[in-house]
Structure 1
Amino acid sequence: MKQSTWPGRSDGSRFKSLPIKHQFHQSEFKSTSKFWSASLASRQIRSSDGDFSKLPFDILTKIAASFTLPNLQAASLVCKSWSEGLRPLREAMLFLKWGKRFKHGRGGVRPNLSKALESFLKGAARGSTLAMVDAGLLYWEIGDKDKAIALYEKAAKLGDRSGQCNLGLAYLQGI
């Protein structure tokens, strides 16, 4: 009995790409999705040419706000446009890294909570939800719960699960 694998060698590649032929219009963005910002609604994105580099930087930043450093680096390699658009988040990752060093006293650095908070806030200002959550944790620890909740809310709106969890815990405690 002769057995063969699927697909047979004569079929060529078993992986096929699907053409995207739909073109989005302003009315579709406004009526179907509240996620898209006004700047995206004012533009037309042609997905038929497959050029994702035309994504506006504000949307790209919202998508990548909760990325870890390896995911952010991989996304930055997609194209020159994405590399430029994700530069603030890569800078935020450096501030996050230094903030953790100052918070825990790692990497030859003595623990210093004020420098840690300063680094986390710089990372949060550049759009990193991870830095927002860490800054919120420090604010919570020093007793400034209003600032902590504001940072948790901002991170939660950007889809960060830790921010959502911490915000929920704050609400459970009656804050």
Structure 2
Amino acid sequence: MATGEWLLASCRSFYCHRRTHRCPASLPEFFDQYTSLTKREPGSSFNQQNLAISYSRLGSTHSALGNLEQALGFFEERSRLGRELYDAYPNNVSFKNGLAISYIKLGSVYEKMEKNNKAVEYYRLSAELLSELAHSFPQYVEFKNNQAWVQKKFCFEPAEELRPLSWQNGLTLSDV
């Protein structure tokens, strides 16, 4: 599989994602393109990760449009692929972080749907993974910031070492 195909599909999807209010009808076309690319090499973690990213982008797009059921479906698929990748490659930090972020996005959609018990469930799953990442990679502040954001979101008790980050840095988590 040519990496160029993924780059082209990704660029087209990103462009559409940024201009969604003008071209929501194009979203299925991009999704089909990603799915087709992944089916050519089903065992490829590279393809699987890119498909997971496309699910996340489509979920974010539908969430921004207020199509919460569709967003939920895309984020669930993103999390499913993320779980498969993480289970297959448990030492891959990117896969673990991607899974944690996918849980945040699921929590966010459930929160918008006013299903707070489900939202808390996914925020907690994310917090667990982010806690492990922050502990294993203390020099990477983004893990700590994301963990603190999740803990602050539902008033989980933050770890002592995260308190300064969560209140001094004015945390935001982009693309939730």
Q: TM-score, normalised by structure 1?
A: 0.42
Structure with the higher helix share, 1 or 2 = 2
Q: TM-score, normalised by structure 2?
A: 0.42
